[in-house]
Amino acid sequence: MIWINIRIADSQMPQLLNMFSSNLSLTQGAKKNMAYEPKNFDNLLGTKGLSDTLLKNHFTLYQGYVTNTNKLADALNAMQKEGKTGTPEYAEFKRRFGWEFNGMRLHEYYFGNMIKGGKPIDRNTNFFKKIVEDFGSFENWEKDFRAVGAMRGIGWVILYYDDTADRLFNTWINEHDAGHLCGASPMLVMDVFEHAYLTDYGIKKADYIEAFFKAIDWTIDPSLDSRLFG
């Protein structure tokens, strides 16, 4: 067993995960079930303002999060069975799991709330009316959401709905795992990591945000609209 520092460098993670995945296959057989499969978002290719090169690179990066989520889940399961839950390796893998899992799931939300050509919000929905109620107008909400996205840093912007207090919040998420509102529902997700826009826009993040807004699919299931905001 390799002894590692309490803080594992990103560059070390793939080798360590491969090592534990190999050990797992020896104890459970060559065939390993993968809990998560990458979703196909090729329907977004051709989206105006987001080049196919950018999107394909982004899809590949997302697929890496799926792979690492599965590897970490397998490694943690193996270490638990081997009685290694008190080791520094287990602690770091456990901490890392949320980062990889959120990286996977947030990308699925992000790609999933876009469509070629975009679909405008239905102003007759309860969702739209709730945005207006909480922000004063849809335009006020959009201005605030864009402002959060323009902040310095890497991460995500999420329009969260907290049904406990019946309130909407535009929220900054640092990287993948810091700043989430526990129990709140993500209604709109925008990636503002540099990989989401540098290929097409360089450092012009505002231009990327404009392209994202033109690609948003605002469709909401009527039953969900009624249940959350009715």
List domains and CATH numbers for the chain. Answer: 13-24+49-112 (no CATH), 126-229 (3.55.40.20)
Q: Is the dihedral of CA 160, 162, 166, 169 positive or negative?
A: negative
pLDDT bin (cut points 50, 70, 90) of residue 103 is very high
Residue 9 has pLDDT above 70, yes or no: no
d(CA 109, CA 188): 8
Tell me the pLDDT tens digit for each residue of 70-82: 999 999 999 999 9
Cα dihedral 150→156→159→161 (10° resolution): -150
Q: What pTM was estimated for this model as a whole? A: 0.84
Tell me the pLDDT tens digit for each residue of 130-163: 999 999 999 999 999 999 999 999 999 999 999 9
Share the mean pLDDT of the chain: 88
Tell me the pLDDT tens digit for each residue of 171-208: 999 999 999 999 999 999 999 999 999 999 999 999 99
